[in-house]
C-alpha cells in the first residue's frame, strides 16, 4: 500500500481578492443569526455594479 503523504507544504495562496467583497465592509451584525449587514453605501455600489454588468 502507498503511504499517505503530508500535503501541508502544498498550500497555495488564494486567487481571489476579498478586499472588495460584500462582507468586507461590515456595518452591523444581527445578534441571533450572526448575519453581517453591509453599509448602505456598499449596497448602492453593489447594485450599480450589477446594473452595469447586465447582459
Q: Which residues, 6+ apart, have CB-to-CB distance to 29 below 8 Å?
A: 35, 36, 37
Q: Which residues, 6+ apart, have CB-to-CB distance to 25 below 8 Å?
A: 38, 39, 42
User: What are the boundaries of each domain within the chain?
Assistant: 27-55
pLDDT digits (tens, 9 = 90+) for 24-54: 677 888 899 888 888 888 888 888 888 988 7
State residue 6's pLDDT score.
62
State residue 35's pLDDT score.
82
Of 36, 18, 35, 19, the residue nearest 27 (C-alpha):
36
In this structure, the strands spanning 26-29 and 36-38 are antiparallel
Between 47 and 22, name the one with better pLDDT. Answer: 47
State residue 13's pLDDT score.
76
Q: Residue 17 to residues 1, 5, 54: CA-CA distances in angstroms?
A: 40, 30, 22
Between 32 and 16, name the one with better pLDDT. Answer: 32
State residue 53's pLDDT score.
81
Amino acid at each position: 500500500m502507498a503511504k499517505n503523504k503530508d500535503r501541508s507544504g502544498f498550500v497555495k495562496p488564494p486567487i481571489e481578492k476579498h478586499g472588495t467583497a460584500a462582507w468586507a465592509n461590515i456595518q452591523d451584525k444581527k445578534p441571533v443569526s450572526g448575519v453581517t449587514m453591509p453599509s448602505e453605501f456598499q449596497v448602492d455600489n453593489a447594485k450599480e455594479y450589477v446594473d452595469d454588468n447586465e447582459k
